[in-house]
Amino acid sequence: MFIEVKRMSIAAFIEKNVDIPADTTVSLEKGVLKVKGPKGALEREFIDPAVSLSIRDNAVLVRAEFPNMREKVMIGTWNSHVKNMMKGVTKGYTYTMKLVYSHFPVKVTVKDDRVVIENFMGEKSPRYAKILEGTKVNVKGDQVVLEGINKEAVGQTMANIEKATKVKGFDNRVFQDGIYLTDKE
């Protein structure tokens, strides 16, 4: 009886790159990537013993030598973070939310670093949602527009607003009041 053994090829390294736009400057110091563009500047720390980040040939390279599964996943994650930083400083992120109510008229205002939601479901006390640093919130009628260069901060602010208007104790098929995401750019 013969047993056939198949040889598997092992990749010596995996490398992904993100091109640097023409109007963007990028620097890397001690694991901190700094990206500066027309909309602003972002910085983020990338430290992992097995995955490295470097700048070469007008691109940011994410690389790992003899990667295991965890390191392959980390390469993809870092690559996405770098892409989001490049897009943020060049184009920015804009999320549009819609204020929906049918029973009680709701008033939404921005005070300091909070969104204040008054008369939601007829409640006497207002509800609050935290605005993360670097995010601008504008209220225009029943539209709430969030803008910023950091995708994570804009997305978390949007989630804070949605969570603040979550309806509890009512049938959500009937009571659909809230502030919901309608458009992402």
Which residue ranges form the domains of the chain, and what is each CATH number? 13-90 (3.90.930.12), 93-184 (3.90.930.12)
Distance CA 42, CA 131 (A): 18
Specify the pTM: 0.85
Identify the CA nearest to 21 among candidates 9, 7, 38.
Answer: 38
Q: What is the pLDDT of residue 50?
A: 87
Distance CA 151, CA 81 (A): 9
- Per-residue model confidence as pLDDT tens for the chain (185 residues): 556 655 555 558 888 888 999 899 999 998 899 999 999 999 999 988 888 898 988 899 888 888 888 888 999 999 999 999 999 999 999 999 999 988 789 999 999 999 999 999 888 999 999 999 999 999 999 999 999 999 999 999 999 999 999 888 888 788 888 899 999 98
- CA of residue 122 relative to chain centroid, distance: 33
Q: What is the pLDDT of residue 115?
A: 95
Identify the CA nearest to 146 among candidates 185, 96, 109.
Answer: 96
